């Protein structure tokens, strides 16, 4: 999408921001009448005011979703019929590409260029992929004796709640909603309070595509009220959550305190990027190491936030890396020439800066380290690199969720693997080597859901995404995502001889 800075500014002026939640096909205020502001982190400007939904609103959404499921207005449609609606929705997402990109950029500070060329096309592709997949999933016949017929069918769960984060607002909503809807479930989508706008627009487009009322409901509000109410509601069958490990644990507790609803979690990460001396393209590795931590302002669960360098190449590599980092200076998110956008809000900016101050006191600052403004406004942080980071330093242990890279050296393959695996997380990892045996050997020993070799953060609708340890439970993407939103039913028939 070839638009100039001024083009994006003019389009932003023309947007009509939503002011309501969406329940049972209706635009609604919160039962309490409470609202909250959505703020552009690049300017501090209030974009709109939305309902601060709580338990009463969640209950209304659950009732609407349950009615829609039980009367089979969506769950009763054939896979081919559901496919047609999801393919239409995919097309509508692309038709509204600029608007959706602007909503995410203005809402949480990401570069509009990235939203338009990566996020929005990615969301459309996900709906297309699951729409195309759903009429190609077959049920099973078990290998019983000749006098029995045992059928194994995959059925929708019922009411699914999707609680999604602010770093990729449209994409994360799509990762949950597309397979859940394709299976025939009704969905309650709770976007992060920092970035609810594209979720509301997605629901409008879904209605336009032919999704019946009540099948996709969007509840806006805070995690401690609306999110907690979702976790504790006794008539929700499943929660699919992406966010911090801390909050993921709350949802496990809420499930135990209520109806033992299924809880699927995609949580935190502290992904290691291992660069060995036999890497045959250090310049490419340095370029991708910078991209792996500074893309989307480092607000990525799989961000390669730990760089592990073989000691013999560390000095040369770091020289290259610092030069690459200079190309990620933050700027106006609506300017296609900007290399990095704004941090999502003041709270997250302060959190990132506290880690940087810790790094100044305990490590070697190679680059960056400062908060910035654009035109005197906004939440911006320079790309920041620390070297001489001990494996047990907070910078190497805790998820910062910002453009801060911790660099540690190693002297052997075994040491590199031990450092990489010494974490509570296990979401992703990268390995750089020209040795095919090493690539296989190291990848097999890394405890991570995705290991990218000679690249970073590789993903596709075709491959499962998720992690080990406290990075979560279950997988997004691929056909395996259907496992989260369906249940297997056995029907055993005794045949008469």
**Other Cβ atoms closer than 10 A to 359:** 24
Q: Is the dihedral of CA 256, 259, 262, 265 positive or negative?
A: negative
Cβ atoms of 66 and 235 closer than 8 Å? yes
Clarify whether 10 is annotated catalytic: no
Helix (H, G, I), strand (E, B) or coil at 30: coil
> Measured between alpha carbons, how far is 34 from 29 in angstroms, rounded to an integer?
8
- Distance CA(471)–CA(110), nearest Å, equals 24
Name the β-bridge partners of 187: 160, 216
The span from the CA of 253 to the CA of 119, in Å, is 32
User: What is the number of other CB atoms lying within 10 angstroms of the CB of residue 415?
Assistant: 16
Q: Exposure string (b/e) for 295-328, b if CB count within 10 Å is 16 or more?
A: bbbbbbbbbbbbbbbbeebbeebbebbbebbeeb
Burial tier of 414 (Cβ tally within 10 Å: 0-12, 13-18, 19+): exposed
Q: What is the DSSP letter of 234?
A: T
> Which residue in 99, 177, 238, 266 is the catalytic one?
266
Choose among 96, 106, 129: nearest CA to 206.
Answer: 96
Q: Distance between alpha carbon 388 and the CA centroid of its chain, in Å? A: 31
Q: Which helix (H) or strand (E) holds 10?
A: helix 5-13
Which element (helix H / strand E) includes 405? strand 404-410
Cα 175 from chain centre: 8
Angle between the N-to-C axes of helices 79-95 and 97-108, in degrees from 0 to 180, rounded to the nearest 10 = 70
> If you ran DSSP here, which 8-state letter would residue 78 be given?
-
Provide CB contacts within 8 A for 412, sequence distance 6+: none
Residue 266 is among the residues annotated as catalytic for this protein:
yes
What does the CA dihedral 209, 215, 221, 222 come to, rounded to 10 degrees? -120
Choose, from 301, 310, 363, 382, the residue flagged as catalytic.
301
Which residue numbers are catalytic?
Answer: 266, 301
């Amino acid at each position: 999408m070839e638009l100039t800075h001024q083009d994006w500014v003019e389009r932003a002026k023309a947007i009509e921001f939503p002011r309501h939640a969406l329940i049972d096909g209706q635009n609604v205020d919160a039962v309490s009448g409470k609202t909250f502001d959505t703020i552009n982190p690049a300017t501090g400007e209030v974009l709109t005011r939305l309902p601060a939904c709580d338990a009463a609103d969640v209950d209304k959404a659950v009732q609407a979703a349950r009615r829609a499921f039980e009367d089979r207005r969506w769950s009763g449609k054939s896979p081919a019929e559901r496919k047609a609606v999801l393919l239409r929705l995919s097309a509508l997402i692309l038709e509204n590409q600029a608007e959706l990109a602007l909503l995410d950029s203005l809402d949480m500070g990401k570069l509009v260029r990235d939203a338009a060329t990566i996020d929005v096309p990615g969301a459309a592709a996900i709906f297309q992929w699951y729409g195309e997949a759903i009429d190609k999933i077959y049920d099973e016949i078990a290998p019983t004796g000749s006098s029995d017929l045992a059928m194994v069918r995959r059925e929708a769960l019922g009411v699914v709640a999707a609680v999604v984060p602010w770093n990729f607002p449209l994409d994360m909503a799509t990762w949950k909603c597309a397979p859940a809807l394709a299976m025939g479930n009704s969905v309650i989508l709770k976007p992060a309070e920092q970035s609810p706008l594209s979720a509301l627009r997605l629901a409008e487009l879904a209605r336009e595509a032919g999704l019946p009322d009540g099948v996709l409901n969007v509840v806006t509000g805070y995690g401690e009220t609306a999110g907690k109410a979702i976790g504790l509601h006794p008539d929700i069958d499943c929660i699919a959550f992406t966010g911090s490990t801390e909050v993921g644990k709350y949802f496990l507790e809420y499930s135990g305190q209520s109806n033992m609803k299924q809880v699927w979690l995609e949580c935190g990460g502290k992904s290691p990027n291992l660069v060995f001396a036999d890497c045959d393209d250090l310049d490419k590795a340095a370029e991708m190491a910078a991209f792996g931590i500074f893309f989307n302002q480092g607000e990525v669960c799989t961000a390669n936030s730990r760089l592990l360098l073989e000691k013999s190449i560390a000095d040369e590599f770091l020289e290259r890396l610092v030069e690459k980092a200079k190309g990620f200076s933050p700027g106006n998110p609506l300017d296609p020439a900007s290399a990095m956008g704004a941090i999502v809000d003041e709270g997250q900016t302060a959190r990132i800066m506290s880690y940087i101050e810790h790094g100044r006191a305990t490590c070697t600052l190679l680059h960056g380290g400062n908060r910035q403004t654009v035109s005197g406004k906004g939440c911006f942080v320079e790309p920041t690199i620390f070297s001489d980071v001990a494996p047990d330093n907070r910078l190497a242990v805790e998820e910062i969720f910002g453009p801060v890279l911790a660099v540690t050296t190693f002297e052997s393959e075994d040491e590199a693997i031990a450092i990489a695996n010494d974490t509570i997380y296990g979401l992703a990892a990268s390995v750089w080597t020209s040795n095919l045996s090493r690539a296989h050997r190291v990848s097999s020993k890394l405890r991570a859901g995705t290991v990218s070799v000679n690249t970073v953060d590789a993903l596709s609708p075709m491959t499962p995404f998720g992690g080990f340890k406290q990075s979560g439970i279950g997988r997004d993407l691929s056909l395996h995502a259907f496992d989260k939103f369906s249940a297997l039913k056995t029907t055993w028939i005794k045949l008469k001889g």
